[in-house]
Structure 1
Amino acid sequence: MKPSVGPQASVVQRPSLARCGSSRDFTASYRTDLPEFFGRNWGSFSHSIRGNWLIEQHDFVNIADPSDSSDFEDTVGMPRVRFLSTVTWAPIDTLAFTWDWDWQASQEILDVDNLVANPDLYETAKYLETGDFSQHDFSVRWAARDNLTVRAGVVNAFDAEPARWLGNTTADNFDLFGRRFFLSLNYRPF
C-alpha cells in the first residue's frame, strides 16, 4: 500500500500590529448676528475651529520583541497639531461666504539623532522637517430657491505645496492637486 497524499497546509506567521496612542480633539464655535450699521443689517458671522493635538503614537510590530515600539508622533502624515478654522459671513439668509484655513504643524522627515552617525547626510537641518503647511479655501453658497442651492469656490487658493524635498509624497494630509475651482448645483425636486 502506498501512503496517501492529501492536501498540504502551510502556516505563515505574521507579526500582529498593536497601536497605542493618545490625542486630544478640540472644537470651539461662535456665532453672532451683526449689529445694524449705517442703517443696514449686516447679517450674521460665525467662526469655528476644530482639530487634533497628537500627544503620542506608537506601533508595536516587532514579533521578536513585542515591547519594542516605533514612535510615529510628529512624523510625516502624523502632525503634532492640526486644525481647521472656518469663518462664515451670511449677509442675508440665502447667501453665505466662507473661508476655511487648514493648518498643520511641521512634521519630522528624519530624526535628528540619525545625523550623529552620518553628519553629512543632509547639508542643512532644513531638510529634516516638512515645515508648517497652510491651505486656504474660499466658497460662496447661494440658496437660489427653496429647492435649489448653488455653490462655487476655490480650493487651495494660494496654491500651497508641501516642501519640495518631500518629492512625490503620498501623505494624504498635504494637498497634492494645487489650486482648483468648483461649481455645484443641488436640486431637490420633492
Structure 2
Amino acid sequence: MPSATEGRETGTGRRGRAPWLVRRWPTMLGVATGAYIVSDMTEGSEAALVLVVAALGYIATAVLDRQGLIWAVVAAEMVAVVVLRVVDVDPVPVLAVVAVALALLGAVRHRWGPSRFERLYPWFTALFLVAGLVGAYADPVLAATIVGTALIGHAVWDAVHWHEDAVVSRAFAEWCGTLDLLLGVGVLVIVLG
C-alpha cells in the first residue's frame, strides 16, 4: 500500500492534483470559453469571427516577433470588435483587411522564412481568413460546416504552435487549441444535429 508521501510525489494523492490543474489553466479556460460561446450559438456560423480574430492575432504576433504579446493583441482585437459593433460596422472584413496588411508587412520585413514553418505562415493565415469570411457570409449550413471544420483545423495549428513553442506563448496555444476544438465540434453538432 503506497504511503501518502508517495501519492503526492507521483501526483496521485489529493495534493498532487492541484498542481496539475494549475498547470492546465489554459485548457480549463478554453473549455469554459468554448462552452460559453457554444451555449449562445443558434446557427454555428457566428463562430466565423473567432477564426478571423485567431488569424489576425497570430499573424500580428508573428510580425511583431514577440510570443508574449498574443494576449494583448487578442485583447485589443476584442476591444476593436466591440467598438466596430457599437458604430454598426461588421468587424469581420475590417479585421481580415488588417490581417492581410500585416501579412504583407511581414513579407516586406522578410519575416516569412527561412524555416518551413515560417514560409507556410501567411498561407495558413489566408486559409483561416477565407474560411472566416465564407463562414460569415455564406448560406448558414455551408458556413457553419466550413467554420466548424476550419476551427478544428485551427486547433491542429494551435497544437503545432504549442509543440514548436513558436509565434505565440504555449499557454495561449493551449487555450486557443482547446477553445477551437470545442467550438469546432460544437458548430458541427449544431449544423449536423
Q: TM-score, normalised by structure 2?
A: 0.25
Highest Rg: 1 or 2? 1
Q: Larger % of strand: which?
A: 1
Q: TM-score, normalised by structure 1?
A: 0.26
